[in-house]
């Protein structure tokens, strides 16, 4: 009788599953950043140090804020934050690009009255912001126009020649692409639902959708 009750109880226990969020952490030049602090505001909040630029979290369906920071000693050098939406169980690949921290530096020994120094500081802040925003837009432009180049077709042709299944490492090795560039192209192909990227060990398997 006890065994029968246990079997019936198991049928009423909901199946618990979730999603895996993972990716790589890059600096402003798309170079891998090791030992960045990556956090996500799940309940409870999860935090980890990226090893060889890789992070991973297990999440339930919901909306989250993903934070990443990079320190040299006690000084914060670069950071970013992104809104993440988990809409269903599965594998989510989100690569993170950290942006440098700009600080206003004014020489305290500079012989100026207070109002002039205050005005000069405001001008420096404005200049840094304008230059920073312009640089961000310029650096992001290739990612927005990636579908206007032949690189997507070259990568797609290589995947087809491999029978519709290969690894991200093989794509980089055979096509001479950098790690960040290859990741951006594959992310674009994923967005177009042409391929799917599956995490396997410390690498990614790329499969052509039928």
pLDDT in tens, 97-146: 999 886 544 444 444 455 555 566 667 777 777 777 766 665 554 444 44
Q: Which CATH class is domain 147-208?
A: mainly alpha
Phi-psi region for residue 128, left (φ > 0), alpha (ψ -120 to 50) or beta?
A: alpha
Answer whether 16-100 and 147-208 agree in fold. Answer: no
In this prediction, what percent of the chain has a pLDDT beyond 70?
Answer: 74
Among the ranges given (27-41, 62-76, 90-104), the one the predictor scored with the smallest mean pLDDT: 90-104
Phi-psi region for residue 98, left (φ > 0), alpha (ψ -120 to 50) or beta?
A: beta
Give residue 121's pLDDT.
62
> What residue ranges do the domains of the chain occupy?
16-100, 104-144, 147-208
Q: Which CATH class is domain 16-100?
A: mainly beta
Q: Which residue has the tokens 């690949």?
A: 93
Give residue 107's pLDDT.
44
- Which pLDDT tens digit goes with each residue over 71-85? 998 899 899 999 999
Three-state secondary structure call for residue 210: coil
Quickly list H helices, 80-150: 114-144
Q: Using DSSP, how many helices (H) and how many strands (E) does the chain show? A: 5, 12
3-state secondary structure string, the chain? CHHHHHHHHHHHCCCCCCEEEEEEEECCCCCECCCCEEEECCCCCEEEECECCEEEEEECCEEEEEEEEEEECCEEEEEEEEEEEECCCEEEECCEECEECCCCCCCCCCCCCHHHHHHHHHHHHHHHHHHHHHHHHHHHHHHHCHHHCCHHHHHHHHHHHCCCEEEHHHHHHHHCCCHHHHHHHHHHHHHCCCEEEEEECCEEEEEECC
Asked if 73 contacts 99 with a C-beta cutoff of 8 angstroms, the reply is no
């Amino acid at each position: 009788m006890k065994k029968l009750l246990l079997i019936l109880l198991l049928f009423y226990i909901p199946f618990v599953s979730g999603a895996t969020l993972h990716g790589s952490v890059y600096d402003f030049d798309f170079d891998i950043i090791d030992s960045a602090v990556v956090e996500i505001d799940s309940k409870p909040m999860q935090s980890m140090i990226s090893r060889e630029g890789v992070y991973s979290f297990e999440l339930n369906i919901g909306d989250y804020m993903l934070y990443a920071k990079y320190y040299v000693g006690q000084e914060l050098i670069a950071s970013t934050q992104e809104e993440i939406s988990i809409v269903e169980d599965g594998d989510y690949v989100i690569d993170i690009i950290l942006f440098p921290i700009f600080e206003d530096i004014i020489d305290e020994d500079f012989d100026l009255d207070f109002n002039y120094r205050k005005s000069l500081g405001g001008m420096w802040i404005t200049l840094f912001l304008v230059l920073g925003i312009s640089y961000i837009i310029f650096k992001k432009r290739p990612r927005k126009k990636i579908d206007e180049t032949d690189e997507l077709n070259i990568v797609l042709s290589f995947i087809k020649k491999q029978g519709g299944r290969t690894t991200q490492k093989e794509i980089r090795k055979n096509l001479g692409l950098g790690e960040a560039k290859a990741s951006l192209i594959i992310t674009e192909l994923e967005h177009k639902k042409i391929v799917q990227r599956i995490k396997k060990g410390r690498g990614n398997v790329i499969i052509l959708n039928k």
